[in-house]
Structure formats: structure tokens, C-alpha cells
Structure 1
Amino acid sequence: MKTSHRLEQALTKLYVAFHNNQLHPECCKQCAVGNILDNTDSWKHLTDIHGSEVLNYVGMVNQKLGKTFNGYSPAELLKIESVFLKGCGYGGAINGRNAKPKNPTDKDVLFNGLSEVIKFLCEIDGVSNVMDYTKLFEFENDKPRFQSIIIQA
């Protein structure tokens, strides 16, 4: 499967952040978008509330000018962050009123959020979800349909 440069870069950055414990949903530099944008928080000026999908004036201007950040438009960045937060168990934008997970940095919580983000990133690039493992279990005539590495015990 051929993936775009922006998708490859985003997946790599998210993978590294997850395994280096540098992923935190409530930190604009360490959230999904913060990591995709090289641990910067400049993206937070595109909206008024962390986790909102609504572009503010600055966000709308950048969107209309066709500006991208590491290949993603302002609207895509806000959607990525929203998907991440919802996948982590947040009830919407981080505003003090919406539900949030008890331990936002729990590996299971972060994995769920990343799984949703990766699914979304693949969707917007028009590729199959790279986390979809169901093909490993497809078969034809009692044989695996696709070749894979089989680990012998």
C-alpha cells in the first residue's frame, strides 16, 4: 500500500511519542496534533478551545489561504485533535465541563485515541487503515488469503 509523505511522517511521530511517553491529550505540544507538528503549540491559535473543530478568525484565514502545516490544513488538524480526544474518552473539547478520562496518560487510553487518529488519517488520505489486522485472518479454501510472517513456537 502506498501512503503519502504526510501520513508516513504523522504515523512515525505518533509512534515515537507513544513509546517515549511523550503523548498527553491535555498538552498542546504533546497531544496528537502537537506531535504531528514537531511538538509545537502554534496550532492552538487556529481555534479558541482545545479540541474544538471550529476554526477561529486566524484559523479561517489560514484555511482560506490554503496554508498547510506538515501537510495538513487547519480544519484537518482540528478534526485530528477532536478525533484523538474523543478516542481517549473525552466528551468533546477540553473546557472543564465535558467528560474526561480519569488517567489521560494511561497507555490503554492513549492507544484508543491513537487508533482512532490513525484510522482518520488513513481515511483523509484515501488508504486502508494501517491498523486493520482483519486481513491477516481472511482465508480461501482453508488457506490464508494473504501471505504473512508466521511465527513458529
Structure 2
Amino acid sequence: MEIPKRLEQALIKLYNAFHNDELNPECCSACAVGNILDNQDSWKHLTNGHGSLELSYVGRVHQNLGRKFNGYTPFELLQIEKVFLEACGFMVPLCHYNPKPQNTTNKEILFNALCAVVAYLCKLEDIANVMDYAKVFEYEENNPVYKFDVIY
């Protein structure tokens, strides 16, 4: 399967952020979108609320001009962030009076959130989820469809 360049780059950045403990849903430069955008937080000006899908004036201008940031439109970036925050257990848009999860940097929570983000990124590309392992277990007439060489 051919993976689009923007997806490949996003996956590499998110993978590195996760394994280097540089993923934080409460920080605009270390969240899912912050990492996709090279740890810049300028994307936060695309909306008036972290986790909101409503573009700010600046966001609407960029969207209407067809601008893309590392391959993603302003609205796509907001959607990615919303998926990430909700999968982390936040009520969006983030607000000081909304309840927040206990441990927002828990590896299991972040892993599940990244799985949701990857599924969404693949949906944007109109390709099968690259993290779906179901195909590995497909079979026909009691024989596996895919064969793997196991090296011990």
C-alpha cells in the first residue's frame, strides 16, 4: 500500500513524540497537531478554543486561501486535535471548568489516543487504517491468507 507523504511524515513525528515522552495533550506545541507541525504552537491561532472545530478569523482566511500546514488544511488540523483530545478523555473545547482526566500523560491513554488519531489520518487519506492488524488473521478454507516467515 502506498502511503501519502503527509501521512508518513505525521506518523513518524507522532511515533517519535510518543516514544520520547514528548506528547502532551495540554500543550499546543506537544499535542498531536503540535507534533505534526514540528512542535510549533502557532496553529492555535486557527481557532479560538483548543479542541474546537470552529475556525477563527485567521483560520478561515488560511482555509479560504487553500493554505496547508505540513500538508493539512486548518480545518483538518482542528479535526485531528479534537480526535486526539477526546480520545485522551477531555471534554472539548478545553475550558477551565470542564473536568479533565487524572493523568493526561499516561502512556496507555496516549497510545489509545494516537490509535484514534492514526485511524482518523488514514480516513482523511481514504486508505485502510495502517494500524489495523485484522488482515494478519484472515483465512480461507482454514489456511491463512497471508504467510509470514518467522525467524527465531
Superposition TM-score tier, normalisation by shorter sequence: over 0.9
| Deviation for aligned residue 1:151 | 5.8
Contact 2:119 2:129 in 1 (8 A): yes
Q: Secondary structure at the match of 1:94?
A: coil
Name 1:131's counterpart in structure 2.
131
Q: Secondary structure at the match of 2:81?
A: helix
| Deviation for aligned residue 1:80 | 0.2
Q: Secondary structure at the match of 2:58?
A: helix
| Deviation for aligned residue 1:115 | 0.5
Name 2:141's counterpart in structure 1.
141
| Deviation for aligned residue 1:137 | 1.0
Q: State yes or no: 1:87 paired with 2:87.
A: yes
Q: Secondary structure at the match of 1:3?
A: coil
Name 1:24's counterpart in structure 2.
24
Contact 2:123 2:129 in 1 (8 A): yes
Q: Which ranges of 4 or more aligned residues in structure 1 deviate by more than 6 Å?
A: none
Name 1:53's counterpart in structure 2.
53
Contact 1:89 1:99 in 2 (8 A): no
Name 2:113's counterpart in structure 1.
113
Name 2:66's counterpart in structure 1.
66
TM-score if structure 1 supplies the norm length?
0.95
**Once structures 1 and 2 are overlaid, which stretch shifts more, 87-96 or 117-126?**
87-96
Gaps of 5+ in 2: none
Gaps of 5+ in 1: none
Aligned length: 152
Q: State yes or no: 1:35 paired with 2:14.
A: no
Contact 2:50 2:92 in 1 (8 A): no
